[in-house]
Structure formats: C-alpha cells, structure tokens
Structure 1
Amino acid sequence: MPRAKQRTPELRDHLLEVAIATLSEDGISGFTTRRVAERASTSVPAVYELFSDKAGLLRAMVFEGFRLLGAELETVPLTEDPLADLERLVPVFRSFCRSYPRLAQLMFARPFAELEPGPDEAAAGASVRAVFTGRIQRCVDAGLLAGDVADIAHVLLALAQGLAVQELGRWLGSSAPSIEQRWRLGVRSLLAGLRPAPPSDL
C-alpha cells in the first residue's frame, strides 16, 4: 500500500518554523534536512514532498524571512515627518537581524551554493524594499531628499545590511553606546548626503 502523502499546510508551516529554529541553533554548517525532519518529528521524504529538496526548503526559509521582516516594517507608523519615518525603519531592520542572525545571513549572504532564489523569493525581497521606497518617495516629494528613489533604497539597505553584519560579527564596537552611535552616524550621514543642494545665488 503506498504511503499517504503528507503535504498539508500545517506541516509545511511547522517545518518552516522548525527549520528556522534549527538554523538558529545549529548554524549554517550544521543545517541539514535530516536534522529538520528529526526535530519536526517527521521524515526526510515528507520534507521533500513539500519543498522538493534542500534548496527548496532554503528558498522557502528566505521567503518566510522576508515575510517576517516585511510584516515588522509595516508596523512602523507614518507621521507628519517623512524623514523621521524613513529613519525609523532602520532600527526595525536592525532588530530583525539581531533576532534572526543566521536567517538574515541566509537571506542576504546566500551562503549555500545550491541556493538560487526564484521569482517568488525575489518578489519577497522586493516587497521589503518597497516599504523603504514608499518612505523615500515621501521624502523626495517633500523636498527632503534628492535622487532616484530606487537607488536610494538599494544604498540605504546595503548600508543597513553592512552595519548589521559588522554588529553581529562584533566589529562595530565594544559597547552598546558606541554601536548605537555608529548606526546613527552611518544612516544620518547617508541621508544628509542625499539632501537637495541649496539654491545657487547666481
């Protein structure tokens, strides 16, 4: 008698949760599909039924990471100060990277050779960037920033990712105040450099 298929949304959600926890505890080098299956009290074939292979599971984890990050960014309220609203996204991004350091590494560094993101994963990353571009567009419309909105979003996210990597690697400072200061310096210096040029007196 053939084995019953185990493709259920509940199992898929459970496996993703367990996979992210396994990555967090075992690290990139210790992450295996077998370990995820064992911790989820299921079988490796059941994992493959849902995700095709290890690369499919990793892609789903990337997608889930961007979904979680996007949901957190969306909670940041809008006010009458567009520039402050944009700046407030960065601590949320930082907090996510600190809460899920190895998931963030998977999302942004792609440490597995077999991990090639597909259209869904690319769209998930773009949805996070869209939160930033929406806030940046408000700043540009208000005359607070100048430049291409997409370019600014890419550069700001690259800065935030770089600072997060430095902080997680303990290269950004030896005390909380020094780390906070360097985050503020980096973000505010970047945004200051994007301010519109003052009108010429000529």
Structure 2
Amino acid sequence: MPRAKQRTPELRDRVLSVAVALLASEGAAQLTTRKVAEHAHTSTPAVYELFGDKSGLVREIFLEGFRMLRRWFDELAETDDPRADLVSLLQAFRGFIRANPVLAELMFLRRFTDFDPGPSDRKAGDAVRKFVVGRVCRCIDAGVLAGDATDIAHALVALTEGLAATEVAGWLGSSKASVERRWALAIEAVLDGFGGGARQRSRAARRSTAAST
C-alpha cells in the first residue's frame, strides 16, 4: 500500500489509533515513531509533522486514554440506587484497566521517560474526575456516604487503580472466585467506612426527633 502523503485530520486520527494499538500489543519499550509510521502506512517525518516529536505522540496517547475512559463511563446506566451505581462505576474502571493495562500505566504511572505531563495535560482527567465525584455526590445526597465528595472520589479511584494493577499482575488471587471476593471485600469495606458518618448522623437525627416528641 502506498504511503499516505497528506497531513490530514484523518491521517492524524489513524496514526493515533495505530499508536494506541501498538502500545497495547507490544508495550512501551517497542513504541517508536518509525514503527508507528510503518503500521499507519505513512512516513516518520509525517508523524513528526503531526505530533512534533515522540513526546508529542505519547502526550496524545495519554489524552486519548482519558477520552476512552470517559466513553466507558458514559455507557453506564444510572438507577435509583446511588451506591450500586458507584460500585458499577468502580467495576467499569477496573474493566478499563484490565482491557488496557499498558495504556493505564501511561495514564496513571507515567511509564515514559520522554513524557512528563504538565498541569494542562493533567486536566485531561477532569471529565473523568467529575464523573466519579458526581456519583459520590449522589451517595452523599442520599445519605449513604458522608464526607467530602472529592476526597472520597480520590480514595476510591486510588483503591481501584491499586487493586486492578494487582489483578493484572496476577497477585490478587489464584482463582476467579478469590479475586472477585477480594474486590467485593475492599470496595464494601471502604464504602461502609465512608458510610459510617452518614449512619451516625441519621441515628442522631432520629434520637433528636424522638426527644422532641
């Protein structure tokens, strides 16, 4: 197939798609601009023209990862059970990391020496962060969690990242049942912990109501 010569948005999208796929299939060490150009049927100079340099290409992969994660979240239904919806969100996040482990490492562990996200790059996660905080807020409004929504969201995201990385590495359990049990145990324990303040306030309110009658 002849190499594409036009530096078009379509070529840019194709190069980015190829780069994401190569990262997943061959790992960070094998991701080179020359290999990306070959698989995208274009030239290395074209890749440089589109993305500046390798760090520019890696930056776009980083940003695309957060766009992909947000699309995963957008597929989630919203029910009348905010706690169950929050658990579904964490499980979706788990599924994304399992399906895209190398991409997740780039997004959350910064595995590339050629790319160090700056403040503007880190804003790529804002849409994802707001989605998680929104689900936590629903739980707080419903009285099933208590605390600062942003703090709780950060704790839950960190928990999910850690568990998913451990699962991908094969250290979370030797059977599907044990892995699922540990996921459920960790998530329920953390949610129950954050729910303790809500339950205490509810009991205090009931006692206050009873005392005034």
Question: TM-score scaled to structure 1, two decimals?
Answer: 0.93
- Give runs of aligned pairs for residues 154-193 of structure 1, distance below 5 A: 154-193=154-193
State the 4+ residue runs in structure 1 displaced beyond 4 angstroms: none
Counterpart residue number, 1:27: 27
For the aligned residue pairs, the C-alpha RMSD in angstroms reads 1.7
Q: Which protein is richer in helix relative to its size?
A: 2
Counterpart residue number, 1:141: 141
Instruction: Determine what percentage of the aligned residue pairs are the same residue.
Output: 51
Counterpart residue number, 1:51: 51
Counterpart residue number, 1:9: 9
1:92-150 deviations in Å (ceiling 9; x for gaps): 11111111111111111111122122455322212111111001001111111011111
Residues 6 and 49 in structure 1, CA contact (< 8 A), matched pair in contact too: no
Deviation at 1:40, TM superposition (A): 0.9
Counterpart residue number, 2:211: none
Structure 2 spans left out of the alignment, 5+ residues: 209-213
Counterpart residue number, 2:75: 75
1:35-59 deviations in Å (ceiling 9; x for gaps): 1111111111111111111111111
Q: Distance in 2 between matches of 1:85 and 1:121?
A: 29
Letter paired with 2:165: V
Q: Distance in 2 between matches of 1:91 and 1:121?
A: 25
Letter paired with 1:104: A
Aligned residues: 199
Q: Distance in 2 between matches of 1:177 and 1:120?
A: 41
Q: Distance in 2 between matches of 1:165 and 1:122?
A: 21
Residues 132 and 153 in structure 2, CA contact (< 8 A), matched pair in contact too: yes
Q: Secondary structure at the match of 1:86?
A: helix
**CA gap 1:7/1:120 in 2 versus in 1, 3 angstroms:** farther
Residues 66 and 124 in structure 1, CA contact (< 8 A), matched pair in contact too: yes
Counterpart residue number, 1:151: 151
**CA gap 1:68/1:44 in 2 versus in 1, 3 angstroms:** same
